[in-house]
Structure 1
Amino acid sequence: MDLAPFKHVLLLPRVRPLALLMFFARMPPAATGVILTLHVAVTLDEGYGAAGLVGAAGTVGMGLGAPLMGKLIDSRGLRSMLAVSVTASASFWLAAPLMNYWTLLVCSFAVGLLGVPMMSIGRQIITALVPETRRRVALSVDSISVELSFMGGPALGVFVATKFSTNAALVAIGLTTLAAGALLYWANPPMVHEDEVVDGPQPKIFEWFRGRIVGVFVVCIGATVCLSGMEVAAIASLEHAGKESWLGIVFFAMCAASIIGGLVYGGVKRTPSVLVLLLLMALLEIPVGLGDGNVLLLCVLLVPMNLMCAPLIAASGEHISRLAPATARGLALGLQGSAFTIGSAIGSPLAGVAIDHGGARLGFAVVGVAGLLVAGVAWLLARQRQRVNPLPVG
């Protein structure tokens, strides 16, 4: 593994300050799930089922809204999208403490639909700042940044919610979202690399959304089926053993493993395909249930599959940025966000049903097998077009 490519990418103009900005900008979205859950279940005293419904409404909104916001970037530019999205997001979070449950439920869907797609924006910015030959390393840096945001965001959110109140945490999310959006608006980073041709009308989606790129989107769905199911099963494993207080350690181990995987992926010369990464992730998830109830063993068994997380996100982003036209990249990366959302919507309830019937061990196994099935679908898509348009191989 050679870390020199990371240094070369970080020394490119504007990469470091914008990467740092996106790290902080992604922390509020990373904290929203846990803060909304605590607010609805504890402060509003509506229970965890009602909290899950609010989270699901926001998730559905994000799945529908990310491509719309991406298309707005393609057609009108980043600043136009931020003007709409940041205004809607900040207004929701600042007003959320005043809302009753049903208002919060409806507005959660709306803010998902119009919210700032920080994850896909970060990927689009990094692809615009670096030449195509260095995108693998740059997107590895971006994936590592995402993991760090998910390590820090929820922890800070829970601290504010427990030390002060969930109302204070909601307002903090609104203020930080507004600040991050204002800084992005001021920075106004490029969304297309200077060497790419962007003249002419925008291509129709059916002109590029087929074959290889569809296979990559399917892999993205499979990845989040595995990852979201893994999180639910890990929570259930420790909760049933009465060791909920160790959840932070387990999630830290997951994120740390993903960061290491991202460093390795960005530093090696030959990389596996997105399909192979998904197959490895799914296969390595099946035996994780052997650590059910044992914190140390669970952490050890979770490390191998999470080593594939950041590489898979980076690899899929690299292929999508290359296969989609530059003038439709915002839409394409927004659709990638939707694919991740679809996978989460499948993986979490699938693991939950399996856990209810056979415990956490069955939860890990079932979502692992589901990931293998999704990988099979992606392989069939690749095989169908193998002669003229094979699935990317890394």
Structure 2
Amino acid sequence: MNLAPFKHVLMLPGVRPLALLMFFARMPPAATGVILTLHVAVTLDKGYGAAGLVGAVGTIGMGLGAPLMGRLIDERGLRAMLAVSVTASAAFWLTAPLMGYWTLLITSFGVGLLGVPMMSIGRQVITALVPEHQRRVALSVDSISVELSFMGGPALGVFVATKFSTNAALMFIGVSTLVAGVLLYWANPPMIHEDEVVDGPKPRVFEWLRGRIVGVLIVCVGATVCLAGMEVSAIASLERIGKESWLGVVFFAMCAASIAGGLVYGGVKKAPSVLLLLVVMAALEIPVGLGDGSVLWLCLLLVPMNLTCAPLIAASGEHISRLAPPTARGLVIGLQGSAFTMGNAIGAPLAGVAIDHGGAPLGFAVVGVVGLLVAAVAWVLARQHDREQNPLPVG
């Protein structure tokens, strides 16, 4: 494993402090799902179905809002976007403890639509801070940072919710988001690299949003279908054998494998294509159900597919940043965020239906097969639109 490229990237001006800031800034968004679920289901005593509806409405808002916020960055700059989104986010989370269920349901769409897209901002900032030939490594660093945020954020949120209350946890998210937003506003990092040319008229969206970019976005959908379905199926598998308390261990194994994959991916000289990474991820998910009934075997079988997680996220970001014009990078990274959100929205209920009919093994198998089908669709569409080019970038 060659770690020298990571050292070189982290030594570039501005990379280390911004990477650290984005790590902490992403922890509150990582905790929002579990905190809202606990608040609605337990504190408001509305049940998990009602909690899932709040999450679904917020997810729809996020899917629509990410490209809007990205376009605002392209047109007005990061600070203008933060002024809108940080205000909306802080207002929601700080007043959420006072809201009844129906108010919370309606406003969750608004905070999804106008909230701070920390995941997308991190990818765009890291892209702007490094030259193009080092973006694979930089985006691998960013993907690893995301995994670490998802390892720490939910755990911290659950600790606050159980030690104090879900109201305190909601307010904690609000304060954390406000602090992170103010720090980002003060830092005002560049959103386009200094070597990139941005003079002249801006290309229209449909001049570049086609072919290979569409293919990569579809791959992003397929990846999160597999990942969301994997999480739901893993939870169902542990619940069946009464081992829910081991969920943290299983999720730690997933994240650790993804981090290891990101380290390997950032150090290789020739990277695999995003399409190949999706095919490998989906194919390796199908047999994970063989570990149903055993915590140890479930962890071991989840490791191979999760080795591709951080590399796939990094690879998709690298190709998107190269294929889209710099003046539209906020929009295209926002569309990538929407693709990830769409995959989550499809994968979780799809796995749930499969689990209801055949248990956790069928959940793993179904979303794995769907991931392979999505990969096939991405290949066909990219081939149709770019007949004279490679069907998908090969890295």
TM-score (norm 1): 0.99
Note the C-alpha offset of 1:297.
Answer: 0.3
State the Cα deviation string for residues 139-185 of structure 1 (Å, max 9, x = none): 00000000000000000000000000000000000000000000000
- Runs (4 or more) in structure 1 with deviation over 4 Å come to none
Note the C-alpha offset of 1:25.
Answer: 0.2
Paired position in structure 1 for 2:392: 391
1:257 maps onto 2:257 in alignment: yes
Q: How far apart, CA to CA, are the structure 2 residues paired with 1:388 and 1:163?
A: 56
Amino acid at match of 2:71: K
Contact 1:160 1:166 in 2 (8 A): yes
Paired position in structure 1 for 2:201: 201
Contact 2:196 2:326 in 1 (8 A): yes
Contact 1:93 1:173 in 2 (8 A): yes
SS of equivalent residue, structure 2 residue 338: helix
Q: How far apart, CA to CA, are the structure 1 residues paired with 2:223 and 2:367?
A: 10
Amino acid at match of 1:24: F
1:281 maps onto 2:281 in alignment: yes
Amino acid at match of 2:323: L
State the Cα deviation string for residues 260-282 of structure 1 (Å, max 9, x = none): 00000001111110000000000
Paired position in structure 2 for 1:113: 113
SS of equivalent residue, structure 1 residue 278: helix
Amino acid at match of 1:186: W
Amino acid at match of 2:213: I
Paired position in structure 2 for 1:321: 321
Contact 2:214 2:382 in 1 (8 A): no
Gaps of 5+ in 1: none
SS of equivalent residue, structure 2 residue 361: helix
Contact 2:383 2:390 in 1 (8 A): no
Gaps of 5+ in 2: none
Note the C-alpha offset of 1:391.
Answer: 1.2
State the Cα deviation string for residues 51-105 of structure 1 (Å, max 9, x = none): 0000001100000000000000000000000000000000000000000000000
Paired position in structure 2 for 1:65: 65
Contact 1:211 1:389 in 2 (8 A): no
Note the C-alpha offset of 1:351.
Answer: 0.1
Q: How far apart, CA to CA, are the structure 2 residues paired with 1:127 and 1:257?
A: 24
SS of equivalent residue, structure 1 residue 183: helix
Note the C-alpha offset of 1:389.
Answer: 5.0
Note the C-alpha offset of 1:240.
Answer: 1.2
Contact 2:277 2:308 in 1 (8 A): yes
Amino acid at match of 2:308: M
SS of equivalent residue, structure 2 residue 202: coil
Contact 2:277 2:312 in 1 (8 A): yes
Q: How far apart, CA to CA, are the structure 2 residues paired with 1:53 and 1:381?
A: 33
1:130 maps onto 2:134 in alignment: no
Contact 1:291 1:297 in 2 (8 A): yes
Note the C-alpha offset of 1:386.
Answer: 3.7
1:156 maps onto 2:156 in alignment: yes
Contact 2:379 2:391 in 1 (8 A): no
Amino acid at match of 2:218: V
Contact 2:215 2:382 in 1 (8 A): yes
Q: How far apart, CA to CA, are the structure 2 residues paired with 1:201 and 1:44?
A: 52
Amino acid at match of 1:305: M
1:200-349 equivalences under 5 Å are: 200-349=200-349
Amino acid at match of 1:219: V
Note the C-alpha offset of 1:381.
Answer: 2.1
Note the C-alpha offset of 1:378.
Answer: 1.1
Amino acid at match of 2:254: M
Q: How far apart, CA to CA, are the structure 2 residues paired with 1:168 and 1:342?
A: 30
Note the C-alpha offset of 1:307.
Answer: 0.2
TM-score (norm 2): 0.99
1:336-375 equivalences under 5 Å are: 336-375=336-375
Kindly tell me the number of residue pairs found equivalent between the two proteins: 394
Contact 1:90 1:178 in 2 (8 A): yes
Q: How far apart, CA to CA, are the structure 2 residues paired with 1:72 and 1:93?
A: 22
User: Percent of counterpart pairs with the same letter?
Assistant: 84
